[in-house]
């Protein structure tokens, strides 16, 4: 599989996976999620640039641990991570699309970068609504599933699982 146009592999995998496999960590990221998130980047950049000429570009924030940020498990989640969550009494979806040999899901935020240097994180409800309004385009890019926005306050969950339907599947884990 080719690499993503807009993403570094570390944005999809946790530090322990990258430390062990380096650039070969792409093997743990599904082609579908890479194609989808390249589309997400392009779509939201075009969408917000069309609304406001002062927009320079859009960032799609998945994991940022490699830049000193707080997010590490928004793409692939290892069994060790899931077990640590369970041991701490934190509710986690054992059959999540984040878990397994290849991540098929990512949680993300959209950040608008303005030409002035100002940055704005888009409200997750707005991101969800825009995706839902343009679901045919997102589905053509591989999106099949969103997590219910009442659960994902502060981020958006998207995945590419098989659903057998011709509309977005909304999950409430």
Domain ranges of the chain: 9-123
User: In which residue are the tokens 């077990």 written?
Assistant: 83
Instruction: Give the pLDDT confidence score for residue 2 in this predicted structure.
Output: 58
Confidence (pTM): 0.92
pLDDT digits (tens, 9 = 90+) for 98-138: 887 778 889 999 999 999 999 999 999 999 999 999 999 99
pLDDT digits (tens, 9 = 90+) for 16-74: 999 999 999 999 999 999 999 999 999 999 999 999 999 999 999 999 999 999 999 99
Q: Can you give the three-state secondary structure of 61-119, one letter per residue? A: ECCCHHHCCCCCCCCCECHHHHHHHHHCCCCCCCCCCCECCCECEEEEEEEEEECCCCE
């Amino acid at each position: 599989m080719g690499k993503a146009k807009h993403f570094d592999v570390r944005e999809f995998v946790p530090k322990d996976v990258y430390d062990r496999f380096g650039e070969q960590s792409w093997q743990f990221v599904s082609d579908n999620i890479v194609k989808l998130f390249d589309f997400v980047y392009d779509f939201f950049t075009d969408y917000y640039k069309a609304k406001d000429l002062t927009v320079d570009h859009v960032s799609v924030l998945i994991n940022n641990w490699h830049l000193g940020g707080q997010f590490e498990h928004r793409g692939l989640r290892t069994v060790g991570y899931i077990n640590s969550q369970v041991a701490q009494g934190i509710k986690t979806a054992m059959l999540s699309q984040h878990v397994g040999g290849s991540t098929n899901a990512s949680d993300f935020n959209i950040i608008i970068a303005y030409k002035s240097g100002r940055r704005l994180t888009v409200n997750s409800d707005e991101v969800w609504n825009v995706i839902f309004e343009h679901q045919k385009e997102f589905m053509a890019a591989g999106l099949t599933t969103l997590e219910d926005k009442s659960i994902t306050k502060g981020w958006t969950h998207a995945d590419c699982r098989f659903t057998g339907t011709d509309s977005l599947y909304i999950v409430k884990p």
